[in-house]
């Protein structure tokens, strides 16, 4: 236990009454972006945890359980909302991009696709992409997956559940 405690970052030890915790986190995000080799063990743990959550979501057929699918979306939305756009861009997006690129390659080559793995597409669509604020990229991604879904006969709930979640929880973004 002593060895594990050495690398732990306790933000309170850096805080004073007049310090801004958000500024400290933004500075840490910048450092991570510029020098990925300085990532601390907690961040590596978090990245591995996110990958496990996505793997479990895929393997447990979350797409067939709309309430569980919505909870996964809410979880990732809370990460995006609390960790800011830089964290989303440099930490979360690459995790999703790797999985989605693999799915897209399989779709384009007409290989068999595990329908349950498309839950990642819905989560990415309504949590990660909006945080990056590139409306063109967002529209192209949605268009691409509507086409993939119709050509391959994928279930409508791949996109309908995430869009329902947006209508319920993020009405302000529907313009």
Confidence of residue 39 (pLDDT cuts 50, 70, 90): low
Confidence of residue 7 (pLDDT cuts 50, 70, 90): very low
| Closest listed residue to residue 75, CA positions, set 100, 92, 90, 61 | 92
The CA-to-CA distance between both ends of the chain, in Å, stands at 51
Query: Would you state the pLDDT for residue 134?
Result: 84
Write out the two tokens for 72.
């996964």
| Closest listed residue to residue 115, CA positions, set 50, 59, 54 | 59
- Angstrom CA distances, 52 to 40, 60, 124, 159, stand at 19, 12, 16, 22
Tell me how far apart the alpha carbons of residues 118 and 8 are, in angstroms, rounded to a whole number. Answer: 35
Query: Would you state the pLDDT for residue 72?
Result: 95
Query: Is 60 exceeded by the pLDDT of residue 2?
Result: no
Its pTM surpasses 0.85: no
Tell me how far apart the alpha carbons of residues 155 and 61 are, in angstroms, rounded to a whole number. Answer: 13
Residue-wise pLDDT for 136-152, tens only, equals 999 999 999 999 999 99
Tell me how far apart the alpha carbons of residues 92 and 85 are, in angstroms, rounded to a whole number. Answer: 10
Write out the two tokens for 125.
């669509």
Whether the Cβ atoms of residue 30 and residue 91 lie closer than 8 Å to each other: no
Confidence of residue 5 (pLDDT cuts 50, 70, 90): very low
The mean of the pLDDT values for the chain is 84
DSSP tag of 89:
I
Whether the Cβ atoms of residue 138 and residue 163 lie closer than 8 Å to each other: no
| Closest listed residue to residue 87, CA positions, set 53, 23, 124, 131 | 131
Residue-wise pLDDT for 17-36, tens only, equals 666 666 667 766 666 666 66
Whether the Cβ atoms of residue 37 and residue 87 lie closer than 8 Å to each other: no
Number of other residues whose CB lies within 10 A of the CB of residue 43? 16
In percent, how much of the chain has pLDDT > 90?
A: 51
Residue-wise pLDDT for 63-101, tens only, equals 889 999 999 999 999 999 998 888 899 899 999 999 999
Number of other residues whose CB lies within 10 A of the CB of residue 78? 11
């Amino acid at each position: 236990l002593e060895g594990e405690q050495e690398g732990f970052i306790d933000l309170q030890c850096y805080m004073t009454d007049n310090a801004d915790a958000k500024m400290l986190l933004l500075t840490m995000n910048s450092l991570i972006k510029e020098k990925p080799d300085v990532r601390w063990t907690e961040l590596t743990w978090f990245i591995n945890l996110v990958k496990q959550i996505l793997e479990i979501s895929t393997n447990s057929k979350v797409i067939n359980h709309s309430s569980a699918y919505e909870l996964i979306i809410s979880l990732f939305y809370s990460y995006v909302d609390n960790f800011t756009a830089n964290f989303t861009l440099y930490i979360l997006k690459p995790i999703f991009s790797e999985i989605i690129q693999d799915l897209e390659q399989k779709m384009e080559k007409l290989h068999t696709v595990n329908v349950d793995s498309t839950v990642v597409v819905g989560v990415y669509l309504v949590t990660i992409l909006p945080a990056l604020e590139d409306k063109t990229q967002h529209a192209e991604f949605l268009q691409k997956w509507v086409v993939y879904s119709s050509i391959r006969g994928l279930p409508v709930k791949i996109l309908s559940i995430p869009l329902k979640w947006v209508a319920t929880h993020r009405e302000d973004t529907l313009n």
